[in-house]
């Protein structure tokens, strides 16, 4: 039975690109009229923009915020605050600038409007850390919590990638430690897991060289949620260690978090396996500590304490300091345990259940990778090397057992045995794993002005029967009659005559002809040609949703993992117009079932089209005696460059 205490923190959040422009409104909303503006180091330009936005509200400006909120700096800022008689601070910058705003609020009661430019999360916590004579102390008070936070995505977009990566890892640490906090509760758990997913998405994007407002927006939303977790529940070993390393050894704040996090997670993993499982699901992995290491490493972040300036001969003292006073943590905090953790972090070892195993697998992987060096086909060798690296990593990360490996081999063997000229289990496997759609995107989505492509699917048969314009593909099979009137043009709308168009589809029960043993000749498939106007008309029946073949190993896999087998209803087209690139695509019936959960991930928005209900005779005069459907569509195909 759930049992928990939860106090919601009363901050107002304004989120979105360009929200800096709303700063003056937010100050008015608080009933304040004299602003002391704090702009963080390196952020003078943002300060200038804010000066303009604040206009007559601006009473003064102070740009001297420093890491860990030194009290001398706070003293100077208070003098300025009093001199200009400010009743509100507006702060733009990272955790350091927010810290100064909080220090002013804690001493004078001024309201705070914070515009964060990093992912530190301080802006949504009632916690203030300050340093005096080199000693950092922390206190928590509801009065410290900023009244308003303006998350302007464009401000965080200016954060250099190197800082963005470590800052996102800093935020990730808040979310992760919230999940095993003694004060953990379902509300914060939900926020923490969402934060983990958003931050991991953002880090992955940065690692892949994708860095746009959308990516920064996800990171910033993750940072807000993670900061809220930090402000709401107590943290554990990770935060204590980072506090010690930053406070006593002057290590930089967010890089320290980025290095320590995977090791603190590994330290606690055995004590809270269910928490690690929940995190692993959001990271799309089975090994949460290793995955958090990989995320930072792949995005170019630091992975060792050594690299961020920790002296190796201070590890003993760091372990002493971090274990001097007891604090809550899932796994018991021992001096030896923390010393071993610090050693791993110092050397940047990837957390693994067994480092010796990791090293031997690493040696083996290296050998196999080098074995591809001799040939003269560099692309093939490169693909083989990367495949080996990922396969070995897959086995290692998942601690693959001999039985599981054998089950995989059996699976592929069965896929081979069931595959024939008309049944392709390997394509089905690729389709249901989404790989076909990935390759399709890579191949066909680089030119946006043509009709989207879609996967070929396993039921295409080479050399379909040639049919004349106006032919009936259904050969009298039962179903809702369909009249198709399609045109093939180039991207500028010029019609393309003599385009060869292969069409194929399932019958009303969801079967393709090749799945029906009693048929003598192909049905519901054919090869037609566009006329002089690029037009093509044919009759058929309305396609219905259908299950992919489930009697093979792919069907077993979907059943075992609780996935359904259905494809959204669609017609297949393969279009080859002279001088133009081949287009393989599908048209989906608007309003049909499974459009949002197609078993092979083939649905694209522009391919979902009306199959409009009609009555009366069809355009070719055929009387169908009831409702029929009409499909009108123009395919735009790309010229061969
Ligand atoms: P930071 O504020 O010092 O910023 C890091 C660096 O990034 C600085 O050099 C800064 O000038 C630069 N920077 C920030 N935004 C930029 C931008 N948009 N473009 C270019 N450069 C930019 O560091 P941080 O990691 O944000 O915050 C760390 C501080 O915050 C520490 O003192 C830490 O203790 C504190 N903190 C407090 C809490 C809390 O709840 N009290 C929570 C998290 C962090």
Give the residue, by CA position, lying nearest to ligand 1 atom 9: 41
What pLDDT is recorded for position 447?
67
CB atoms < 10 A from the CB of 54, how many? Answer: 19
SS3 14: strand
The per-residue pLDDT for range 253-305, each reduced to its tens digit, is 999 999 999 999 999 999 999 999 999 999 988 789 999 999 999 999 999 99
Report the C-alpha gap between 591 and 62 in whole angstroms.
59
From-to residues of CATH 1.20.1090.10 in the chain: 161-351
CA of 93 from ligand 1 middle (Å) equals 7
Token output for 95: 């955790």
Q: Which residues contact 307 (CB under 8 A, 6 or more apart)?
A: 259, 348
Give the residue, by CA position, lying nearest to ligand 1 atom 2: 94
Instruction: Ligand 1 pocket test: pick from 20, 38, 39, 40 the residue with the most ligand atoms within 8 Å of its Cβ.
Output: 40
What pLDDT is recorded for position 338?
97
The per-residue pLDDT for range 600-611, each reduced to its tens digit, is 998 998 999 999
CATH number of 12-157: 3.40.50.1970
Give the residue, by CA position, lying nearest to ligand 1 atom 32: 68
Token output for 172: 């990730």
> Residue 194: is its pLDDT beyond 70?
yes
From-to residues of CATH 2.60.130.10 in the chain: 435-636
Q: Which residues contact 577 (CB under 8 A, 6 or more apart)?
A: 488, 496, 498, 499, 500, 530, 637
Instruction: Ligand 1 pocket test: pick from 122, 230, 261 the residue with the most ligand atoms within 8 Å of its Cβ.
Output: 122
> Residue 361: is its pLDDT beyond 70?
yes
Q: Which residues contact 375 (CB under 8 A, 6 or more apart)?
A: 381
Token output for 634: 């123009």
What pLDDT is recorded for position 99?
97
Which one, of 599, 511, 592, lies nearest residue 561 by Cα? 599
Strand partners, 164: none
Which one, of 171, 157, 239, lies nearest residue 199 by Cα? 171
Pick among 3.40.720.10, 3.40.1280.10, 1.10.10.10, 2.60.130.10: CATH of 435-636: 2.60.130.10
Which one, of 32, 26, 107, lies nearest residue 69 by Cα? 107
The per-residue pLDDT for range 480-507, each reduced to its tens digit, is 999 999 999 999 999 999 999 999 999 9
SS3 426: helix
Report the C-alpha gap between 159 and 225 in whole angstroms.
19
Q: Are 95 and 120 in contact (CB under 8 A)?
A: yes
The per-residue pLDDT for range 392-423, each reduced to its tens digit, is 989 987 889 999 999 999 999 999 999 998 78
What pLDDT is recorded for position 179?
98
Q: Are 480 and 543 in contact (CB under 8 A)?
A: no
Which one, of 348, 340, 351, lies nearest residue 315 by Cα? 340
From the number of C-beta atoms within 10 Å of its C-beta (0-12, 13-18, 19+), residue 69 rates as: buried
What pLDDT is recorded for position 457?
82
Give the residue, by CA position, lying nearest to ligand 1 atom 24: 95
Mean local confidence (pLDDT), 40-45: 85
Give the residue, by CA position, lying nearest to ligand 1 atom 42: 122
What pLDDT is recorded for position 353?
62
From-to residues of CATH 3.40.50.1970 in the chain: 12-157
7 or 106: which leads in pLDDT: 106
Q: Are 149 and 122 in contact (CB under 8 A)?
A: no
Torsion region of 209: left, alpha or beta (phi above 0 gives left; psi -120 to 50 gives alpha): left
Report the C-alpha gap between 68 and 66 in whole angstroms.
6
What pLDDT is recorded for position 352?
74
> Residue 183: is its pLDDT beyond 90?
yes
Give the residue, by CA position, lying nearest to ligand 1 atom 11: 41
Token output for 421: 């000229």
Kindly report whether the global pTM for this prediction surpasses the value 0.75: no
What pLDDT is recorded for position 357?
75
Q: Apex CA 102: angle with CA 181 and CA 4, to 5°?
A: 25
Q: Are 590 and 608 in contact (CB under 8 A)?
A: yes
The per-residue pLDDT for range 556-582, each reduced to its tens digit, is 999 999 999 999 999 999 999 999 999
> Residue 354: is its pLDDT beyond 80?
no
CA of 162 from ligand 1 middle (Å) equals 13
Is the sign of the CA dihedral 258, 259, 260, 261 positive or negative?
A: positive
Which one, of 174, 159, 168, 157, lies nearest residue 217 by Cα? 157
Mean pLDDT across the chain, nearest whole number? 93
CA of 230 from ligand 1 middle (Å) equals 15
Report the C-alpha gap between 139 and 141 in whole angstroms.
7
In ligand 1, which atom is closest to the CA atom of 69? 32
Q: Are 537 and 485 in contact (CB under 8 A)?
A: yes
Confidence of residue 509 (pLDDT cuts 50, 70, 90): confident
Determine phi and psi for 137, rounding to 5 degrees: -120, 155
Q: What is the H or E stretch that residue 115 is in?
A: strand 111-116
In ligand 1, which atom is closest to the CA atom of 102? 41
> Residue 67: is its pLDDT beyond 90?
no
Q: Apex CA 76: angle with CA 73 and CA 82, to 5°?
A: 140
Which one, of 51, 52, 49, lies nearest residue 37 by Cα? 51
Instruction: Write the secondary structure of 535-574 as one string of H (helix), E (strand) and C (coil).
Output: EEEEEEECCCCEECCCCCHHHHHHHHCCCCCEECCEEEEE
Report the C-alpha gap between 254 and 173 in whole angstroms.
10
CA of 187 from ligand 1 middle (Å) equals 27
Q: Are 115 and 91 in contact (CB under 8 A)?
A: yes
> Residue 355: is its pLDDT beyond 70?
no
CATH class (in words) of the domain with range 161-351: mainly alpha
What pLDDT is recorded for position 445?
67
> Residue 63: is its pLDDT beyond 80?
yes
CA of 561 from ligand 1 middle (Å) equals 43
The per-residue pLDDT for range 120-137, each reduced to its tens digit, is 999 999 999 998 887 778
Q: Are 604 and 586 in contact (CB under 8 A)?
A: no
The per-residue pLDDT for range 207-257, each reduced to its tens digit, is 988 999 999 999 999 999 999 999 999 999 999 999 999 988 999 999 999
Q: Which residues contact 199 (CB under 8 A, 6 or more apart)?
A: 119, 168, 169, 171, 172, 175, 218, 219, 222, 223, 226
What pLDDT is recorded for position 446?
63
Q: Which residues form the pocket of ligand 1, taking CB atoms under 6 Å from any ligand atom? A: 40-43, 67-68, 93-97, 99, 117-118, 120-122, 125, 127-129, 155, 158-160, 163, 167, 170, 230, 253-254
Q: Are 349 and 259 in contact (CB under 8 A)?
A: no
CA of 483 from ligand 1 middle (Å) equals 63
Catalytic positions, written as ranges: 512, 546, 567, 570, 572
In ligand 1, which atom is closest to the CA atom of 46? 18
């Amino acid at each position: 039975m759930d049992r928990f205490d939860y106090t919601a923190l009363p901050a107002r959040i304004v989120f979105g690109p360009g929200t800096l422009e709303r700063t003056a409104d937010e100050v008015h909303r608080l009933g304040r009229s004299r602003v002391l503006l704090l702009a963080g180091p390196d952020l003078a330009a943002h300060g200038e923009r804010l000066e303009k936005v604040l206009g007559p509200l601006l009473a003064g400006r102070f740009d001297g915020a420093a890491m860990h909120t030194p009290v001398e700096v706070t003293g100077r800022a208070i003098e300025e605050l009093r001199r200009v008689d400010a009743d509100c601070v507006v702060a733009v910058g990272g955790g350091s600038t927010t810290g100064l705003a909080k220090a002013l609020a804690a001493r004078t009661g001024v309201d705070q409007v914070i515009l964060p430019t990093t992912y530190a999360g301080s802006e949504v916590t009632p916690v203030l850390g300050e340093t005096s004579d080199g000693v950092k102390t922390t206190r928590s008070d509801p009065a410290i919590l900023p009244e308003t936070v303006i998350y302007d995505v464009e401000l965080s977009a200016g954060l250099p990638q190197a800082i963005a990566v470590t800052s996102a890892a800093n935020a990730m640490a808040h979310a992760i430690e919230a999940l095993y906090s003694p004060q953990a509760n379902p509300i914060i758990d939900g926020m923490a897991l969402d934060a983990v997913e958003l931050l991991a998405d953002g880090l992955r994007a940065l690692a892949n060289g994708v860095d746009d407002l959308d990516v920064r927006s996800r990171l910033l939303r993750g940072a807000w949620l993670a900061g809220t977790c930090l402000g709401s529940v107590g943290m554990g070993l990770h935060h204590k260690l980072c506090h010690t390393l930053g406070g006593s050894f002057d290590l930089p704040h967010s890089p320290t978090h980025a290095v320590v996090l995977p090791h603190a997670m590994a330290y606690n993993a055995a004590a809270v396996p269910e928490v690690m499982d929940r995190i692993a699901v959001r990271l799309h992995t089975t090994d949460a500590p290793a995955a958090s290491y990989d995320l930072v490493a792949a995005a170019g972040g630091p992975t060792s304490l050594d690299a961020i300036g920790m002296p190796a001969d201070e590890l003993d003292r760091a372990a002493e300091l971090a274990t001097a006073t007891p604090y809550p943590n899932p796994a018991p905090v021992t001096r030896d345990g923390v010393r071993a953790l610090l050693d791993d972090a110092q050397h940047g070892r990837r957390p693994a259940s067994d480092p010796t195993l990791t090293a031997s697998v690493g040696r083996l992987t290296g050998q196999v990778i080098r074995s591809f060096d001799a040939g003269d086909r560099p692309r093939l060798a490169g693909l083989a090397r990367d495949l080996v690296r990922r396969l070995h990593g897959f086995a290692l990360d998942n601690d693959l057992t001999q039985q599981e490996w054998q089950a995989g081999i059996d699976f592929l063997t069965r896929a081979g045995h069931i595959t024939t000229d008309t049944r392709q289990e390997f394509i089905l496997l690729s389709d249901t794993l989404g790989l076909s759609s990935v390759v399709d995107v890579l191949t066909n989505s680089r030119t946006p002005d043509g009709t989207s492509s879609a996967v070929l699917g396993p039921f295409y048969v080479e050399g379909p029967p040639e049919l004349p314009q106006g032919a009936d593909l259904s050969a009298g099979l039962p179903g809702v009659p369909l009249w198709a009137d399609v045109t093939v043009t180039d991207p500028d709308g010029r019609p393309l005559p003599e385009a060869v168009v292969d069409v194929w589809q399932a019958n009303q029960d969801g079967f393709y002809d090749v799945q029906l043993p009693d048929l003598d000749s192909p049905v519901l498939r054919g090869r037609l040609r566009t006329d002089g106007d690029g037009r093509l008309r044919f009759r058929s029946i309305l396609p219905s949703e259908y299950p992919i073949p489930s009697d093979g190993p792919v069907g077993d896999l979907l059943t075992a993992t609780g996935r359904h087998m259905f494809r959204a209803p669609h017609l297949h087209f393969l279009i080859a117009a002279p001088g133009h690139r081949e287009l393989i695509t599908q048209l989906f019936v608007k309003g049909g079932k499974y459009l949002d959960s197609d078993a092979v991930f083939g649905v694209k928005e522009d391919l979902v089209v009306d199959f409009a209900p009609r009555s009366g005779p069809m355009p070719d005069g055929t009387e169908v005696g009831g409702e029929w459907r009409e499909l009108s569509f123009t395919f735009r195909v790309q010229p061969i460059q």
